[in-house]
Amino acid sequence: MDRILIVDDIPDNIFLLQTFLEAEGYQVDVAESGRAALAKIEAEPPDLILLDVMMPEMNGYEVTRRIRQNRKLPFIPVVLVTGHDQPTAAEGFDVGADGFIRKPVDFNELMDRVRSILPSAG
């Protein structure tokens, strides 16, 4: 079963994404900060990371940069979840992100993106 790590500092955002993805047959793990995410990723790398850009302490760009710089990790696709008023996609791609989903999350777009990365749900 494919494992998706959702990283967001807002519990309601996590809950919505987790509920939706679990209903689609994915195993979901969550982290509420960049630091917590990096610890979980090192302990047990997921198959995909959905990563909020705007978080306190360590934003999504920095988390992505650290994932890409850690040579002990396998390649893990990272999709950044971002609001419309945030910086351009270029910054995310520069640090190694594999795609973007805009907030508020369109669940059809989310599933298209997830299935393009993880074709075999469940």
Write out pLDDT tens, residues 64-103.
999 999 999 999 999 999 886 655 677 888 999 999 998 8
Find the radius of gyration of the CA atoms of the chain. 13
The tokens for 117 are: 């990365």
pLDDT tens-digit map of 92-121:
889 999 999 988 899 999 999 999 999 865
The tokens for 56 are: 């306190």
pLDDT tens-digit map of 29-61:
999 999 999 999 999 999 999 999 999 999 999
Minimal CA–CA distance to 81: which of 56, 57, 108, 110?
110
Task: Count CB atoms within 10 A of the CB of residue 47.
Answer: 18
Three-state DSSP class for residue 9: coil
Query: Per the confidence metrics, is the pTM higher than 0.95?
Result: no
**Does the domain made of 3-87+97-115 have the CATH classification 3.40.50.300?**
no
Task: Count CB atoms within 10 A of the CB of residue 67.
Answer: 23
Three-state DSSP class for residue 69: helix
Question: What pLDDT was estimated at residue 90?
Answer: 78
